[in-house]
Structure formats: structure tokens, C-alpha cells
Amino acid sequence: MSAPRPPLKPLEQALAELLDFAVALDGVESVSTFEADGRVLAQNLLSALQVPPQDNSSMDGYAVRCADLSPAQNLLSVTQRIAAGSSGTALAPLSAARIFTGAPIPEGADAVVMQEDCDVVDDAQVRIKSLPAPGQWIRRAGEDIRRGAVVLQKGARLTPAALGLAASIGMHVLPLARRPRVALFSTGDELVMPGQVAPEAMKPGSIYNSNRFFLRTLLSRLGCQVSDLGIVPDRLDATVQALHGAAQGHDLILTSGGVSVGEEDHIKPAVQALGALDLWQIAIKPGKPFAYGRVHNAHFIGLPGNPVSSFVTFLLLVRPFLLKLQGVTELAPATFALPAHFTWARADKRREFLRVRRNPAGGLDLFANQSSGVLTSAVWADGLLDNPPGQTIAQGDLVRFIPFSEVLG
């Protein structure tokens, strides 16, 4: 009789162990701010200046001195014109400066009156129709960023807005964490490549390699430099050889397929022959046959072959792993409690990640076919429902929703 199988590892535990292995890569790269989208800052960014640099107008109108104006005295002479990019001179008493959005407030002025609240009397005079309050329509120097402030922190992932902010303090080059070098390969004798075999020429038993396409894209979105090593045949010697070669010059080897318990699954013994397998099999559905180990000096992650399993385990496990390698500290996606607009009667022993979609009524709809081979579900869905083990779901139950927008890239 064979020994009883140990219980599968819960996801939280597997993730914690996996992240312990993800020691941040060393090396800082200077990269053009134009090229830094999605990359991770390796140092705090401090501002050498204040933004905005001076008090400036947030309206097209007239800069005035409030003390000059009263219900009885609302006529001012227009003595200067200040457009964005130029600067004026000190404002004399009883005068106004024609001013435009973004232009610096002249010395002495303490409010801007928008042009809609003014009557132009002639070229040289303006009548102020509504009395301004001091400070009105003035953007204060430094109200966005103080000099010396930490504008973006080490470990932050750069978004388009963050790139704009970095540029606003004059950074045209940024200190970034090194890109993880990832070797990617697919296993499976059944796999053929789109473009190499036409649909009508497919041999019985063969399928197109779909995992390769989304895995490569997901890796690139996470800032990785990908070496796509193609398809490895289902043989132990070929698998050992491929892993051995891939360990050179890569931080991570990522594979899909061949990591279950069948006779055609050679990943596990190959990793054990070259290094160590530290994690194998997780109590989630889809995605049970997930593996982590080391091959020589490289990290190794084996994803299941079923496309939805491969996709989901990437988002849940590989994504935080790769971000941590780059020094990111916030790894958990934001999740939301939303009502289920369906029932789920089949509780599973494993924690399940169901493909669902938000509907206009504010609830979640379920994709009808939750098979791990049905990639259509992942396209139809806009996120995953994280359902605890042993749990059924009734109409209206609040469930935990992870939007794909939180984890794709």
C-alpha cells in the first residue's frame, strides 16, 4: 500500500514560502523616463525644486490687489499682460495685470478675477464686477511638491501618471531595478505553433500552443526580459537538457505543462536531478500542479499545462514573485466585496478561483463553463472570484472579487 498523500498546501502558505525565495535582484539600471512604464524604482526620487515653481494663475483673467477694490471703486488700469511662460513686474496700486492660466502672479497681486467677471472698458481699463477674496484663483508655489520631498518611493511601480510626476521634477532618466531575465518554455508533444501548421493540416491529437502567447505577454508587462525557448518534447533527457541550458544567464525558468503526476510529466524529476523542488501542488482550483524549485542558480517555476490553470497561477503566484524580485513591496492586489448574481452549489475542497464578470447592476455573473481547459472563460471574465474551500454561493452573497485590472501587468 502506498503512503497516504500529504494534504495540499494552502495558497497563503505556498505564496508566503514562494515570496521568501524571491530575494530582490541586485543591480540598478538608468533608464529614460520615456521607457520606464511599469518598471520599478530602485531609489527614492527626491525633488530638487518646488512644483509649481511660483504662485500662478489658474484662470484667464486679471491679477489684482484686493485692497484696491470696493463696491464704490471697481475700476482698475490694465498696466501689463502676463502670458504663461513670461513673468510680469510688480503690480502698482489701482492697476491690474491681464493674466492667463499658468502665468506667474506678479508681486503685489493677491487674487485673480476670472475674465467672465470683468468688463473691459477700453484697452487700458477693466471693471471688476465681483469683489475677489484674497488668494482666489491662485495656485500656490509648492502646492503639488515641496522642495526635498520624496515624490516617488523606492519599490514603487511606475504608472503613466508617475512618469509625468517624475518629469515634473526634471527627471529624464530614472534609477530602476534590473529587469528579471526569464527563460520561458512550453512542454508537450501535442503542441504545434500557429503559423507553422494551418488549422486544416492539424494532425489528430495536436493542439495549438496558446500558453506561450499569454505567458510571454504577461512576463513582458511585468518588466521581464524574456528568452522564449520554444517547445520541449515530453522526454526526461530533453527536459533535463533544456532546464540545464536555461539556467545559464537567467534569473527564472518558467515552464508550462508536464508538472502533474503522469508518465509524460518530466518536469518534476528533471528539476530534482539538477537542483531542488521546494514547493509542489497547491490547494487551489484551477492550478493544483504548481511547482517551485531551483535549477543550478536560477529560480524555477512550473505552471500547469491547462491554459486557465496556467493563466490563474501566473496571476496569483508568478506575478508577486516577479514584482518582489524587482523590489516591489505592495504585492497583494486590491479586492472588492461584490454580490454574486448566481448560485454555486458545488463546494470544492480546494480554494476556487471562478471566472466572473461585473454586470451593470453591480453584481457578478459567472461564466457557465469553469473547466480549466476553457480559455474562453478568461476572455469573457473581467476578474476572478476567490471562493474559500468548502463554500457554496447563494444569490446575493457577498464574495471576494479580484479584478483582472489589478493583476494583469
List contacts with ligand AMP (CB under 6 A). Answer: 186, 188, 190-191, 207, 209-212, 256-260, 304-307
- How does strand 56-57 pair with strand 138-139? antiparallel
CB of 319 to Mg ion, least distance (A): 23
Q: Answer for the pair 177, 327: CB distance below 8 angstroms, yes or no.
A: yes
Length, in residues, of the chain: 409
Q: Which is nearer to Mg ion, 304 or 333 (CB)?
A: 304
Give the type of residue at 7.
P
Give the type of residue at 134.
P
Task: Show the binding pattern over residues 161-190: x = contacts Mg ion (CB under 5 A), - = does not.
Answer: ---------------------------x--
| Contacted entry of Mg ion, ligand AMP, none for residue 306, CB cut-off 5 to 8 Å set by kind | ligand AMP
Q: Which is nearer to Mg ion, 258 or 275 (CB)?
A: 258
| Contacted entry of Mg ion, ligand AMP, none for residue 302, CB cut-off 5 to 8 Å set by kind | none
- Give the CA count within 13 Å in the CB-facing half-sphere of 224: 30
Q: Answer for the pair 229, 185: CB distance below 8 angstroms, yes or no.
A: yes
| Contacted entry of ligand AMP, Mg ion, none for residue 327, CB cut-off 5 to 8 Å set by kind | none
Q: Which is nearer to Mg ion, 231 or 364 (CB)?
A: 231
Backbone angles phi, psi at 118, to 5 degrees: -130, 150
Q: Which is nearer to ligand AMP, 79 or 260 (CB)?
A: 260
Which single residue is written with the C-alpha cell 510680469? 88
| Contacted entry of Mg ion, ligand AMP, none for residue 190, CB cut-off 5 to 8 Å set by kind | ligand AMP
**Three cell numbers written together for 370:** 469553469
Per CB under 5 A, 304 contacts Mg ion: no
Per CB under 5 A, 320 contacts Mg ion: no
Question: Burial, 355: exposed, middle or buried (Cβ in 10 Å; 0-12, 13-18, 19+)?
Answer: buried
The count of residues interacting with Mg ion (CB under 5 A) is: 4
DSSP 12: H
Task: Show the binding pattern over residues 233-262: x = contacts Mg ion (CB under 5 A), - = does not.
Answer: ------------------------xx----
Give the type of residue at 307.
P
| Contacted entry of ligand AMP, Mg ion, none for residue 372, CB cut-off 5 to 8 Å set by kind | none
| Contacted entry of Mg ion, ligand AMP, none for residue 183, CB cut-off 5 to 8 Å set by kind | none
DSSP string, 305-325: SSHHHHHHHIIIIIHHHHHHH
Which one, of 132, 243, 250, lies nearest residue 185 by Cα? 243
**Interface ranges with Mg ion (CB under 5 A):** 188, 257-258, 305
